[in-house]
């Protein structure tokens, strides 16, 4: 099980406090769709997501970005139990959405970049290291029900 | 062979034109050593790398970071021929320095975060896509001579 020190917990909380879910969620998801275009295949019902400007103006992308970051909030609130917290989500993405689990890592990278753009120097190297440790635990948890 | 649109060339050259290599180079390399500590193994002769502060203030790391950025500058000036431009560097990293080529991706990720933190919201999803395309070509060229 992943162990977080007190310092790591407060680092994660401190960065998360700076994150506006309604802003960073849509930004991160838009980045995934634009930087890794094959991910568009998972959003067939979202309408036009085939150009960068379409993605950036798409209401469903915006809404879903917020949903994803709200789920990340659950992980922040349950750092000692991310695997259990995400078991349902993992099963859902595996059995219902058939999402290739490599994509969770891509989304994690885009979330980090979106946060870097927003908080800039607050994401210093040590903070980035802690944040990545947290996101790796999240990505692992999302992978956990895939067999 | 990699094709670059006019727009992509402009994006890459203007990002590099805005960079202070003496600032960004050290930041990217030290971030890599802090976020991915196993990479420190390649810098045994560089002196004190025992903690984040030591890494951030180590003059050998700073000098090497600047060198790396100047190396990237050569790729920017030879975007249609990155593979050939980097052939010698690839041989050097493979045969002399014995660097695991996975690490090129780690350094490129850290450089991306540094650029994102610098540019903030100007590091749009489309710019990120072009930037990552450029770095992917660089990383591939660096790994090319490994057998």
Whether residues B129 and A35 touch (CB distance < 8 A) is answered with: yes
Question: Which of A34, A118, A120 is the closest to B125 by Cβ?
Answer: A34
Single pTM value for the model? 0.91
Q: Write the pLDDT tens digit of every residue in B9-40.
A: 999 999 999 999 999 999 999 999 999 999 99
A12 touches chain B (CB under 8 A): no
DSSP SS3 for B6: helix
What's the CA gap between B93 and A27, in Å, rounded? 36
Q: Closest CB to B52: pick one of A30, A123, A126.
A: A126
- CA triple B98-B143-B97, angle to 5 deg: 15
Select from B30, B109, B132 the Cβ nearest to the Cβ of A35.
B132
CB A65 within 8 A of CB A27: yes
Taking alpha carbons only, the member of A18, A39, A15 closest to residue A29 is: A39
Angle, CA B68 vertex, CA B88 and CA B36 arms, to 5°: 110
**Nearest by Cα to A43 from A28, A27, A58:** A58
Chain B contact present for A123, CB below 8 A: yes
| Chain A residue numbers touching B132 (CB-CB < 8 A) | 35
Q: Per-residue pLDDT tens for A92-110?
A: 999 999 999 999 999 999 9
By the CB < 8 Å criterion, does A55 face chain B?
A: yes
What is the model's pLDDT at position B5?
A: 97
Q: Which residues of chain A have pLDDT under 70?
A: none
């Amino acid at each position: 099980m992943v162990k977080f020190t007190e310092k790591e917990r407060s680092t994660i909380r401190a960065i998360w406090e700076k994150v506006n879910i309604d802003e960073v969620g849509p930004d991160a998801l838009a980045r995934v769709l634009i930087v890794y275009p094959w991910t568009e295949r998972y959003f067939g019902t979202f309408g036009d997501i085939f150009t960068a400007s379409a993605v950036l103006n798409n209401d469903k992308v915006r809404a879903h970005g917020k949903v994803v970051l709200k789920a990340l909030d659950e992980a922040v609130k349950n750092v000692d139990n991310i695997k259990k917290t995400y078991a349902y989500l993992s099963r859902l993405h595996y059995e219902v959405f058939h999402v290739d689990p490599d994509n969770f890592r891509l989304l994690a990278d885009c979330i980090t970049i979106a946060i870097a753009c927003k908080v800039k120097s607050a994401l210093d190297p040590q903070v980035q290291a802690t944040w990545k440790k947290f996101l790796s635990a999240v990505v692992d948890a999302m992978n956990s029900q895939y067999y | 062979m990699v094709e670059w649109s006019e727009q992509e060339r402009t994006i890459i050259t203007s990002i590099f034109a805005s960079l202070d290599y003496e600032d960004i180079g050290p930041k990217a390399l030290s971030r890599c050593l802090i976020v991915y500590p196993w990479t420190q193994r390649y810098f045994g002769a560089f002196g004190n790398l025992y903690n984040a502060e030591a890494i951030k203030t180590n003059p050998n790391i700073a000098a090497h970071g600047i060198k790396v950025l100047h190396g990237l500058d050569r790729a920017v000036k030879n975007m249609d021929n990155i593979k050939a431009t980097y052939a010698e560097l690839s041989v050097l990293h493979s045969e002399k320095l014995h660097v695991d080529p996975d690490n090129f991706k780690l350094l490129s990720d850290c450089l991306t975060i540094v650029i994102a933190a610098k540019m903030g919201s100007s590091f749009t999803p489309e710019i990120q896509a072009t930037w990552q395309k450029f770095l992917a070509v660089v990383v591939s060229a660096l790994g090319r001579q490994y057998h």
